[in-house]
Amino acid sequence: MPQLKLVLPNVQEQAMIAAVKGIVATTCQERFSQEPVLKRNHIKWNEKYRMIARAKDKGFAEGAIVSCIGLFLSERHVTQNQPCGAIILYADEYYMRKLMNSAGLSGEDVLNQGAVADFCSEFCNMITGQFINRVVNEGYQEILMTSPSTQMDEIQDGVRFNSDYAEYIELDFFIWGKNVFSIDLTLSAIFKNE
């Protein structure tokens, strides 16, 4: 019988780390300088009761790119705007351009700020898709994802989250000795087949 269960924090972490490592190795052929740094934080929200997603709070310089994707348990939850979680990517613009170079892109594709934002959206999209694939493979139910929303420095209106679970995992990833990007992940209890 399916039971409502919290995806264990270590399962979430491992699924996310494996997803990111696989994507960076396949897409950019780059190696991480060190293991990702893990933090568990309480969600801070704004006046609209949405999660604050601000790159400078993570230590990124001005001009960073923030991309977020909502997670939902069903189409009904999408319609009712009731997410079960969210994934937020914070990326340093300069180093994302370097990653684009490593992915084989060059010239205008890398110089154009819109293209960098598009690359971050797609990066966030792949991370979320791979994370879901791994969680579902652990026996948890399918999770629906929204299209990415990408902005400079912060998600202005904040990010909808599930208030049943007011903590999130932050993972900081290092390439070339620098914190090139960080990921916030918040996920409420979801059904698991026992």
Query: Which residues of this protein are in contact with other proteins, per CB under 8 A?
Result: 22-23, 26-27, 100, 103-105, 109, 115, 118-119, 121-122, 125-126, 128-130, 132-133, 136-137, 142, 145, 147
Residue number, 125 or 188, with CB nearest to other proteins:
125
Tokens of 141: 């139910």
The size of the chain, in residues, is: 194
* One-letter-per-residue 3-state SS of 113-154: HHHHHHHHHHHHHHHHHHHHHHHHHCCECCCEECCCEEEECE
CB of 86 to other proteins, least distance (A): 15
Instruction: Check: CB of residue 167 under 8 Å from CB of residue 111.
Output: no
Residue number, 43 or 116, with CB nearest to other proteins:
116
CB of 142 to other proteins, least distance (A): 5
* One-letter-per-residue 3-state SS of 73-89: CCHHHHHCCCCCEEEEE
Query: Which helix H or strand E contains 171, and what residues bound it?
Result: strand 167-175
CB of 68 to other proteins, least distance (A): 14
CB of 87 to other proteins, least distance (A): 12
Residue number, 2 or 104, with CB nearest to other proteins:
104
Residue number, 58 or 149, with CB nearest to other proteins:
149
CB of 158 to other proteins, least distance (A): 21
Residue number, 48 or 76, with CB nearest to other proteins:
76
Distance of alpha carbon 113 from alpha carbon 26, whole angstroms: 23
Distance of alpha carbon 50 from alpha carbon 102, whole angstroms: 35
On the 0-12 / 13-18 / 19+ scale of CB atoms within 10 A, 34 is: exposed
